[in-house]
Amino acid sequence: MSAIAIANNPVLHARTKHIEIDHHFVRDHIQSQHILHMLISTLDQTADIFTKQLSTKRFQQLRFKLTVQPEPSICGEVSEQLSTTTYTKSDNKQTPCLITLNQ
């Protein structure tokens, strides 16, 4: 049984006695039209960011909807990378390293 159906139909109260008082509080406010509810498309479910494996683009879209800002990086963004060079580790192996330009 959907939460919207329970909230809209007081007849279902007897079948939902195990539900906490706060849920009934919400139902009462929906009936008095203090709270409006609407269906949200599956494409717009922001909870997906916590429950599903997403593409980078989709993850960034949902993160933006939640108004979460990316953490600043000392190295800058990938688009700011200018060139690559190498450095020598203690074992004398050459390892590629990215150099970024601060703008």
Position 57 scores a pLDDT of 92
Residue of higher predicted confidence among 84 and 39: 39
* Averaged pLDDT, 65-91: 62
Strand spans (E) along the chain? 81-88, 94-100
Q: Whole-prediction pTM value?
A: 0.39
Contacts of 58 (CB under 8 A, 6+ apart): 48
Q: How confident is the model at residue 53 (pLDDT cuts 50, 70, 90)?
A: very high
The answer, yes or no, to whether residue 60 has pLDDT greater than 70, is yes
How many degrees, rounded to 5, is the angle at CA 92 between CA 87 and CA 95? 40
